[in-house]
Amino acid sequence: MLNLHHKAIKRFSLDGNIHDDSAIARLKSEYIKLLVAEMRLSGYVPRLDINPDFTLSYNEEKRYFEFKISLYGIYIGKKQSEWILGIDEIRPIYIQESKSKEFLREQA
């Protein structure tokens, strides 16, 4: 059993520009997936009880949106991170077996 009490929480963040306002929702979703993949490669998994932070502001001078997105995770190890979707408070949420096989195929 994993001991998840009092584990340090690490912030993973990304910032940049979006030029087309119709792509904001799609790109937000893709950036979240990208950050989760980065977490897993480092042995971290997301804290599901902490919502992602997404801030957006329009730069009128340059005519694009500036964004910053942050996700929060805890370290559980590279092997464990392959099998755990995320942590809800102190409970690990395991990836379903069929999704685990798909995840392993994507890794190969």
Q: How many residues does the chain have?
A: 108
Q: Is residue 3 part of a domain?
A: no
Cα 64 off chain centre by: 24
Boundaries of domain holding 99: 9-107
Q: Is residue 4 part of a domain?
A: no
pLDDT at residue 98 in the model: 58
Q: Which residues contact 99 (CB under 8 A, 6 or more apart)?
A: none
Provide the domain count of the chain.
Answer: 1
d(CA 83, CA 79): 7
Report pLDDT digits (tens) over 16-73.
Answer: 999 999 999 999 999 999 999 999 999 999 999 999 999 999 999 999 999 999 999 9
Q: Is residue 57 part of a domain?
A: yes
Tokens of 30: 């893709």
Q: Is residue 16 part of a domain?
A: yes
- CB atoms closer than 10 angstroms to residue 46: 24
Task: Answer yes or no: are the C-beta atoms of 71 and 39 closer than 8 Å.
Answer: yes
Tokens of 20: 């087309």
Q: Is residue 40 part of a domain?
A: yes
